[in-house]
Amino acid sequence: MEKKPFITLEQAQRIIADVPTPFHIYDEKGIRENARLLNKAFAWNKGYKEYFAVKATPNPYILKILQEEGCGVDCSSYTELMLAEACGFSGQDTMFSSNVTPVEDMQLAARLGAYINLDDYTHVEFLERVAGIPETICCRYNPGGVFSMGNDIMDNPGEAKYGMTEQQMVDAYKKLMAKGARHFGIHAFLASNTVSNEYYPTLAGILFELAVRLKEATGAHISFINLSGGVGVDYRPEQPANDIMVIGEGVRRKFEEILVPAGMGDVAIFTELGRFMLAPYGHLVSTVLHEKHTYKDYIGLDACAANLMRPAMYGSYHHITVLGKENAPCDHRYDVTGGLCENNDKFAIDRMLPEIQIGDILVLHDTGAHGFSMGYNYNGKLRSAEVLLREDGSHKLIRRAETPEDYFATFDFTPFFKK
């Protein structure tokens, strides 16, 4: 399947005249359409709600768009909770899932009335001590071992630091009930970036069966089951894309097969999608600064791994389009690099692309989630701007680029300048 950018060369040039590269740009139209499709896929469940994973794209303009489309937010830190509150998310529009949780984070989540998702059995007493036990509480499950579908191993939950064993879930529910909790949730994350319509239904089946066992063992009222994230995107053109309508129908069938006969047809389904919600609707836009021809042919961009670290950190693939050369033959082999003093600062290795000249504008696809948010300041590099492409084709700066003043703002230079 061909990957097409959501901006043209002419649009990019107009934006660059206002906001210099590099910058991340987000497609409002695509974000809204995707959120509506997700809600449609799970409309069969009366209590369904998507809690967008804030860590994927923590920008208030993005959060407000998703809020307008009926989404809540999934937060994992004090500042993410602050951002959610500032954007108008209140009470149970917020899910708080964290681990190794500081006291202040837990107290803020409790003050905001968020759903609190406990990662560990010992957190029951921790929560009681620092904030009190709410009437509705969630616990995170880890089945251990490896998670597979058919003959394919998808991930290794037994090596993950998150969640409780089933017996710990039982013990936690009983302890929480004794301390006043009345309604319970179940949460689990078993695999990352799956490109399979079977992942969510398989996970749902595991959690629905767990819910029945927990109800039988404890008598607890389970009010929601949170399928978390893990539904991925097709980073490579040859990959099949997930079909969220097929996924939603697969979860519905498991719901009807497992929960309804157990008298649990009132359970709400929650999701915490980040990558699926935003990744395809973001581009990193960058300008070619240099070309180099030694043992290989290199193209040097004004962006670097500080703007998009996934290729350097994980070896991840991000498709590249040279704007204005979409129909040109990809008959040149390049390493596409940034300017960090690290040899792994490469967006692509041995990538076949059209012939590239200095000044060309490149789009790196699928950077709308875990793109800007994973940025950093190594080598004194400054984080880039973020831009929103509005539905009417206009653009808005939704985060300015960092300046050297921002970089130096946390230093105290006064001892060096005393007379």
- Please enumerate in sequence order all residues whose Cβ is within 8 A of that of 171, keeping only pairs 6 or more positions apart, or say none: 121
Distance CA 80, CA 367 (A): 20
> Which among 116, 68, 128 has a CA at the least distance from the CA of 91?
116
| pLDDT grade for 226, boundaries at 50, 70 and 90 | very high
Task: Judge contact between 65 and 31, C-beta under 8 A.
Answer: yes
Extended beta strands in 99-251, E state? 115-118, 136-140, 147-149, 152-155, 183-187, 221-226
CA distances from 338 to 312, 344, 373, 381 (A): 10, 9, 18, 11
What is the sign of the dihedral through the CA atoms of 32, 196, 254 and 174?
A: negative
Helix (H, G, I), strand (E, B) or coil at 310: helix
Q: How far is C-alpha 95 from the chain's CA centre?
A: 14
Q: Where are the alpha helices (DSSP H) in 133-274?
A: 166-178, 199-218, 244-254
Task: Judge contact between 229 and 53, C-beta under 8 A.
Answer: yes
CA distances from 13 to 16, 270, 286, 356, 390 (A): 5, 41, 11, 17, 16
Distance CA 322, CA 301 (A): 12
pLDDT reported for residue 154: 64
Q: Is the pLDDT of residue 419 over 60?
A: no
Q: Take residue 283 and report the two structure tokens written for it.
A: 């581009």
Task: Judge contact between 261 and 306, C-beta under 8 A.
Answer: no
Q: Residue 413 region, left (φ>0) first, then alpha (ψ -120 to 50), else beta? A: alpha
54-106 tens-digit pLDDT = 999 999 999 999 999 999 999 999 999 999 999 999 999 999 999 999 999 99
Task: Judge contact between 338 and 22, C-beta under 8 A.
Answer: no
Mean pLDDT of 167-171: 97
348-359 tens-digit pLDDT = 999 999 999 999
| pLDDT grade for 347, boundaries at 50, 70 and 90 | very high
Q: Take residue 154 and report the two structure tokens written for it.
A: 């998808």
Answer whether 0.75 is exceeded by the pTM: yes
Mean pLDDT of 381-407: 97
| pLDDT grade for 152, boundaries at 50, 70 and 90 | low
Task: Judge contact between 118 and 127, C-beta under 8 A.
Answer: yes
Q: Take residue 32 and report the two structure tokens written for it.
A: 């809204």
- Please enumerate in sequence order all residues whose Cβ is within 8 A of that of 220, keeping only pairs 6 or more positions apart, or say none: 173, 177, 184, 214
Mean pLDDT of 249-260: 98
**Domains, the chain:** 42-273 (3.20.20.10), 280-408 (2.40.37.10)
In three-state form (DSSP H/G/I as H, E/B as E, the rest C), the secondary structure along 31-45 is HHHHHHHHHHHCCCC
Extended beta strands in 86-164, E state? 94-97, 115-118, 136-140, 147-149, 152-155
Q: Is the pLDDT of residue 324 over 70?
A: yes
Other residues' Cβ atoms within 10 Å of the Cβ of residue 182: 13
Mean pLDDT of 149-159: 70
| pLDDT grade for 227, boundaries at 50, 70 and 90 | very high
CA distances from 74 to 60, 117, 298, 357 (A): 14, 10, 40, 43
CA distances from 232 to 146, 198, 275, 347, 413 (A): 19, 12, 6, 20, 45
Mean pLDDT of 367-373: 96
Rounded mean pLDDT of the chain? 95
pLDDT reported for residue 418: 63
Q: Take residue 146 and report the two structure tokens written for it.
A: 């490896």
Task: Judge contact between 334 and 299, C-beta under 8 A.
Answer: yes
Mean pLDDT of 402-406: 96
SS3 content of the chain, % helix, strand, coil (to 5): 35, 25, 40
pLDDT reported for residue 192: 86
197-217 tens-digit pLDDT = 999 999 999 999 999 999 999
